[in-house]
Amino acid sequence: MIELQNKYQELRQENNALEQRLSTLEGNTENTTQPGSRDYLPSSCTEVAGRGGIHNRSLHVIDPDGPGRGVLPMVVQCDLQGQTAITLIGHDSEARTHVNGFEDPGSYSKDVTYWNSMEQMRALVDQSSLCKQLIKYECYGSLIWGTTGRPYSWWVTWDGRQADYWGGASPGSEKCACGETGSCSGRCNCGANDQTWREDSGFLSHKNDLPVTQLRFGDTTDNNGNEEGYYTLGKLICYP
């Protein structure tokens, strides 16, 4: 956890240094807009791969909406999935995290802070053919949805809306992946409300909702201490 926090702070410092550097270049766009010049930035990880290759999720600065307009360039991780260059953006909530002692629906709340601004991230999402983000909840006697459809746990979209679906399911479904495929008896595996460890996980891939900005959980306490959970939220991953 400490290592992750240190990496997050390091990346934030890199982004701040980039913004200061760009501020000093304001009004002099020749170097930043001409391809091949020293300061010309790639627009994507695909372009990074074409210029010099990608190695082990290395950090790069890209300008997804093009030079001299829109949002400032951003620090991202580039990686290869087969022959496809993908873009990854991390945040401060990637570690598997325990939730216990929060009974009311959504009473546990965790804001998700990313390396980059929301404007930068939405520019990347808009320019990508697909973006996705893994969300997972491991539950022990803890619900995502109650039997009456009352949500106890949910996530919040980039523009502040309470999402009505879980990873692997469709927007508006009020279900997890297993509820849509019929591989569980209700909406979610975390709906049995028994003293057995269960899990609901899957990728969120509806671009209009990404990235996740907040996580909310409830139903993690009872008189005997038999309700708890662990959540995990992955990096935002975007494809060209």
Contact of 144 with 176, CB cutoff 8 Å: yes
Match 């953006």 to its residue by tokens: 89
Q: Average pLDDT, whole number, for the chain? A: 86
Q: What is the pTM of this model?
A: 0.83
Q: What is the three-class DSSP state of 107?
A: coil
What is the percentage of the chain residues whose pLDDT exceeds 70? 82
Token pair of 29 as six digits: 């766009």
The answer to whether residue 224 scores a pLDDT higher than 80 is no
pLDDT of residue 37: 45
For 81, 119, 179, the CA distances from 215, given in Å and listed in that order, are: 28, 20, 21
Token pair of 130 as six digits: 């697909």
Match 């907040």 to its residue by tokens: 214
Question: Averaged over 88-117, what is the pLDDT?
Answer: 96
Rg (CA), the chain: 20
pLDDT band at 227 (very low <50, low <70, confident <90, very high): very high
Q: According to CATH, where is 2.60.120.1000 located in the chain?
A: 97-239
Least-confidence region, from 4-18, 69-83, 101-115, 134-148: 4-18
pLDDT band at 3 (very low <50, low <70, confident <90, very high): low
Burial class (CB in 10 A: 0-12, 13-18, 19+), 199: middle
Report the half-sphere exposure of 94 (CA within 13 A, side-chain side).
19
Question: Averaged over 233-239, what is the pLDDT?
Answer: 97
pLDDT of residue 12: 58
Integer Cα distance of 122 and 5 in angstroms = 24
Question: Averaged over 47-72, what is the pLDDT?
Answer: 84
The model's pLDDT over 134-153, given as tens digits with 9 standing for 90+, comes to 999 999 999 999 878 899 99
pLDDT of residue 2: 55
The model's pLDDT over 149-204, given as tens digits with 9 standing for 90+, comes to 899 999 999 999 999 999 999 999 999 999 999 999 899 999 988 889 999 999 99
What helix, strand, coil percent values describe the chain, rounded to 5?
A: 20, 30, 50
Report the half-sphere exposure of 74 (CA within 13 A, side-chain side).
27
Integer Cα distance of 217 and 99 in angstroms = 8
pLDDT of residue 119: 95
pLDDT of residue 15: 53
Question: Averaged over 210-239, what is the pLDDT?
Answer: 93
Integer Cα distance of 158 and 114 in angstroms = 11
pLDDT band at 56 (very low <50, low <70, confident <90, very high): confident
The model's pLDDT over 9-55, given as tens digits with 9 standing for 90+, comes to 665 555 555 555 444 434 443 444 444 444 578 989 999 998 887 87
CATH code, 97-239: 2.60.120.1000
- Sequence length of the chain is 240
pLDDT of residue 199: 97
Integer Cα distance of 16 and 25 in angstroms = 15
Least-confidence region, from 3-12, 61-70, 88-97: 3-12
Residue (of 156, 141, 134, 146) closest to 100 by Cα position: 141
Contact of 145 with 191, CB cutoff 8 Å: yes
DSSP state of 83: T
Integer Cα distance of 59 and 75 in angstroms = 7
DSSP state of 26: T
Token pair of 131 as six digits: 């973006």
pLDDT band at 96 (very low <50, low <70, confident <90, very high): very high
